[in-house]
Amino acid sequence: MSGYTALLDANVLYPAPVRDLLLQLAVTDVYKARWTADIHREWIEKLLENEPHRERAKLERTRDLMDSNTRDALVTGYESLIPSLQLPDENDRHVLAAAIVGRCDVIVTANLKDFPEAALAPFGIDAQHPDEFLCNHLNLAQGLFCRCVQKIRQRLKNPPCTTGEYLETLTRNGLVATAAELRRFAELL
């Protein structure tokens, strides 16, 4: 099991294709994933705002499955640290606080500007876009990464998804470099 630990920001837990890939890699022990109840609330609320036809109960079931199937992922006890932290957006301080308490190496977020290096460096934490994070892990463990993608594709049954369609979905969801790298391994996916 990898000791590399990542706090997943709400904006990488929604959309679902990015979340599915990050979680499959985590449950396969490619890295350790962390998040909080606040982060869950954020991604669920954003998804319901953008897609009001979704059922809250189903999203909460997804949240519960994430918590129960990903080892030690739920970070608690970080709230008292929030007021002492400085970030460009005060609403993101809970993410950094959770990363500190969760002993994370990296915050995986699509909002890199909200987590400047100068604010994270004193805590030994980096911020990476999910595309960079996933490319790094693909380069470290190509076979394991490809097996994870294969498992995800096998679960997609309604409708089934070809390798090309899956890679196009990743591209549409901002994982451009990851999808490009995975094309080299298309026969394994």
Q: Tell whether 17 and 109 lie within a shared domain.
A: yes
**What pLDDT is recorded for position 159?**
83
Two structure tokens written together for 134: 């996933």
Query: Where among 129, 155, 176 does a domain terminate?
Result: 129
Two structure tokens written together for 45: 């609320």
Q: Tell whether 32 and 53 lie within a shared domain.
A: yes
Q: Tell whether 153 and 72 lie within a shared domain.
A: no
Q: How far apart are CA 51 and CA 175, in angstroms?
A: 21
**What pLDDT is recorded for position 1?**
58
Q: Tell whether 68 and 93 lie within a shared domain.
A: yes
Query: Where among 78, 96, 129 does a domain terminate?
Result: 129
Residue 12: which of 28, 30, 29, 25 has the closest Cα? 25
Q: How far apart are CA 28 and CA 30, in angstroms?
A: 6
Confidence band for 158, pLDDT divided at 50, 70 and 90: confident
- What is the domain extent for residue 157? 135-188
Provide the domain count of the chain: 2
Instruction: Kindly report the pTM of this predicted structure.
Output: 0.95
Query: Where among 129, 147, 167 does a domain terminate?
Result: 129
Work out the average pLDDT over 106-119.
97
